[in-house]
Structure 1
Amino acid sequence: MVGNARSIVTDFDVYQRELARLVTNVTQLYEATSTLPAYQPDPTTMRVLHISDVHLNPAAWHIVQSLVRQYKVNVIIDTGDTMDHGTSAENGFLDPVSDLGAPYVWVRGNHDSASTQRYLAKRKGAHVVDNGEAVSVAGLRIAGIGDPQFTPDRSAAAAGDAAEHSAGRRLAEAIRDRRAAGAPVDIALAHNPIAARETDGTVPLALTGHVHHRRTEVLPGGTRLMTEGSTGGSGLRAVDDGTPDTVQASVLYLDRDTRRLQAWDEIDLGGLGLAKAEVSRHLPAENRPGATPTPTTP
């Protein structure tokens, strides 16, 4: 049994290093071969790496470091569920955030405890947003609210969607107050999309996670809601169904002057034990070739 355990640890270490190397290679290939007559980011473009739902998968940190280097990322945004049970014993898993190569902005998920939040707030380079508070990082003003529910706590009844709606409304109210005070927020963060939807009309961009699959949509009030998949491939629970979940992350390109989304790249990697990678670029409708107004050439 000891021999098998050592073999698993060794094999997993090789896997996570190789997956990081794979994402490096595929992003280099993508940049070298892309001839699409579409958005081409210039050196002044702000690059945001959106990750979510790491769920204690250590391979995620290797992938994030690789993406930060390849894309010259200005800020990492993590929309929560970095942990699985939120215990103090898990806190050491957060130590690598200080060495990822870019500022790290985080909002609490329903698998992250108050202990998780306090520990991360003390890490160098980490910025925790909660209760509608805002931070200014890499030229962006980012506000967020932690998830009002803590799933692993079986002693308290789950408050359900009502709690998420309430949290989202508090975040939206805080953002409106900041805008009235002359300090508008560029990006709103919440873990659950239900909460994030409440910010519609108050910000140009809202980021979220929770559901372990990626989705982007423009809400009725004009806010673009971007939901990220699981950057940890749903953690070890991914093997329960026999087919590992895809590892997902996105790089968002924002104009430095307007701080509006210009394009985004979606990165999809093989889950536990799988070696595959895909990168695809997407443009908002107003930035697609032939759209009005046509984007200027950098």
Structure 2
Amino acid sequence: MKRKALLFWTCSLLGAALVLFFLSPALYRLGAFRFAVRVLPGLGRTRIELPPVGAVEARTHLTPLDVVLTLRSVDPDQLQRLLGSPGARQAALATLREGGRRIAAHFLLRTLLLAAAGGAWGASWVRRSWPDRGKGAVLSAAVWVLVATGAAATFNVQAFQNPSYSGILKGAPWMLGLAQTAWERLDKLGADVRFLTQNLRQALDRANAAAPLERLQDDIKVLHVSDLHNNPLGLSFIAQIKADFGPDFIVDTGDLTDFGTPLEEGLLARLPALKVPYYVALGNHDSPVIAQEVRTLSGVHLLEGWQAVRGLTLAGRADPTSLSADIKPAGEEAVLAQVTDLSALIQEKGQAPFILAVHDPRVGENFAGVVPVILMGHTHQARVEVKGGSVLVNAGTTGGAGVRGVQSEKEVPLTAALLYVHAQGAAPQLDAVDIIRLYPRAGRFELARTTVGATLRQ
């Protein structure tokens, strides 16, 4: 008799566990985030999954239950409104607290009903009467209440001060301190960026007076930016340069983001507001998620081959690493493969483009002496070099190396390059390149002009 009773209770609890395992996942929206919650048998851990870059988890409670939260999507417009408002940090925390309690209550009620249904189902494996199914439901619901209450009573959010990471996020512990420091600095630095960049026009006038080139005013202006690394200050910098200098189009040589996650799409949503054609060759810190988002943006174009822009030919490719969630720089084989691919593209077209845009200088430098103007990024070092009759331009890091640069003791400048192209002759010619460096913390900027003169022609 005892054996039959034990079998009955075991089947009831097993049925409840199976139903909870397969049917507990539920979708919720909290602020700008949409995520799934589910429970699993486990060791009292809470796991936060951030596809495609990995997960963070910690031992947060004592009951044999794991709670798993998986980020599904981010509303960039709502995130931008939240982070762009006064007191953004406090508002975000308040939203998380209030919404979190509501979601927890709903999820607990949902799983309680699932546990009861699963218990009744499990009981029916050995006893088919409705009273026995009811007993199985009551038992399973009671056990679930004990487990869930125990988890809630012993839950320690401070456990996430010492979490474990998987995937790309293994490199994330240092990011937590950086993010906190950066958030505190961004508001002040944003005001400094706006103030300093408003004086760029005066610097340009001084540069023109020192090295006059009368035809520059009729030249096509190409703004070259790179390595934003999800820094909103970098986008403000670009917007002010656009307002002051009026570039005809912008070429971005990649690393729009730090990890290539949906969480970082908020900055991308602001690119169409620049209202100037924007061409992107993705970098190793970008990903297929970012590529998909860029394709949805009005006026923003992925460089995936050959383009004709304002009478200039522009070619480019995404960094090989951007085709995956890996943020490590491309290996030598991948670099060689991209060089081969671009060489084949040029051979197919029968001529070199006027501008080649790639993220990695190891790729771009192979085309010195072939392509007149080569735009690159990755190194965070802005420079202009004439090599083999080609002009190689590295825009450095328009985002000041992102959150790392904001936190760094030694200030990393926000940098960009403005190219002046004379396109009224038989073939386009690069006249000059301005490298702009902005130091928001130091309260200064630099503008250095390189007069190029004759370059390789198409």
Q: State TM-score, norm by structure 1.
A: 0.83
Query: Which one of 262, 281, 285 corresponds to residue 431 of structure 2?
Result: 262
Query: Which one of 280, 283, 298 corresponds to residue 448 of structure 2?
Result: 280
**Secondary structure of the corresponding residue to residue 226 of structure 1:** strand
Asked if 1:253 corresponds to 2:420, the answer is yes
2:112 is matched with none
1:293 is matched with none
Change in CA separation of 1:230 and 1:136 when aligned onto 2, cut-off 3 Å:
same
Offset, 1:113: 0.2
State the alpha-carbon separation in 2 of the partners of residues 53 and 9 from structure 1: 19
Does structure 1 conserve the Cα–Cα contact (< 8 Å) formed by 2:235 and 2:399? Answer: no
Change in CA separation of 1:166 and 1:73 when aligned onto 2, cut-off 3 Å:
same
Asked if 1:17 corresponds to 2:186, the answer is no
Task: In structure 2, list runs of 5 or more residues that go unmatched.
Answer: 1-86, 91-180
Does structure 2 conserve the Cα–Cα contact (< 8 Å) formed by 1:39 and 1:283? Answer: no
State the alpha-carbon separation in 2 of the partners of residues 241 and 12 from structure 1: 13
**Secondary structure of the corresponding residue to residue 343 of structure 2:** helix
State the alpha-carbon separation in 2 of the partners of residues 41 and 24 from structure 1: 24
1:99-155, CA deviations, whole angstroms, 9 ceiling, x for partnerless residues? Answer: 11311010010000011011112211111112xx1122232221111111249845x
Does structure 2 conserve the Cα–Cα contact (< 8 Å) formed by 1:45 and 1:254? Answer: yes
1:143 is matched with 315
Does structure 2 conserve the Cα–Cα contact (< 8 Å) formed by 1:207 and 1:227? Answer: yes
Does structure 1 conserve the Cα–Cα contact (< 8 Å) formed by 2:284 and 2:329? Answer: no
1:235-274, CA deviations, whole angstroms, 9 ceiling, x for partnerless residues? Answer: 0112554212111101100002232210011111015x34
Offset, 1:205: 0.8
The structure 1 segments of at least 4 consecutive aligned residues displaced by more than 3 Å after TM superposition are 3-11, 40-43, 150-154, 156-159
Query: Which one of 126, 151, 169 corresponds to residue 340 of structure 2?
Result: 169
Change in CA separation of 1:285 and 1:87 when aligned onto 2, cut-off 3 Å:
same
Offset, 1:187: 0.6
Change in CA separation of 1:179 and 1:17 when aligned onto 2, cut-off 3 Å:
farther
Superposition RMSD on alpha carbons, in Å? 2.7
2:331 is matched with 160
Query: Which one of 354, 357, 369 corresponds to residue 189 of structure 1?
Result: 357
Letter paired with 2:358: A
Aligned pairs for 1:51-90 within 5 A: 51-90=225-264
Offset, 1:10: 7.7
Change in CA separation of 1:283 and 1:42 when aligned onto 2, cut-off 3 Å:
closer
Does structure 2 conserve the Cα–Cα contact (< 8 Å) formed by 1:44 and 1:256? Answer: no
1:231 is matched with 398
State the alpha-carbon separation in 2 of the partners of residues 190 and 55 from structure 1: 16
**May I ask how many residue pairs the two structures share in their alignment?**
277
State the alpha-carbon separation in 2 of the partners of residues 278 and 207 from structure 1: 20
Task: In structure 1, list runs of 5 or more residues that go unmatched.
Answer: 288-298
Does structure 1 conserve the Cα–Cα contact (< 8 Å) formed by 2:288 and 2:324? Answer: no
Change in CA separation of 1:170 and 1:5 when aligned onto 2, cut-off 3 Å:
same
Offset, 1:285: 5.7
**Quick check: which one's helix share is greater?**
2
Query: Which one of 374, 378, 381 corresponds to residue 213 of structure 1?
Result: 381
Change in CA separation of 1:28 and 1:241 when aligned onto 2, cut-off 3 Å:
closer
2:124 is matched with none
State the alpha-carbon separation in 1 of the partners of residues 420 and 207 from structure 2: 19
Query: Which one of 112, 121, 145 corresponds to residue 295 of structure 2?
Result: 121
Does structure 2 conserve the Cα–Cα contact (< 8 Å) formed by 1:192 and 1:208? Answer: yes
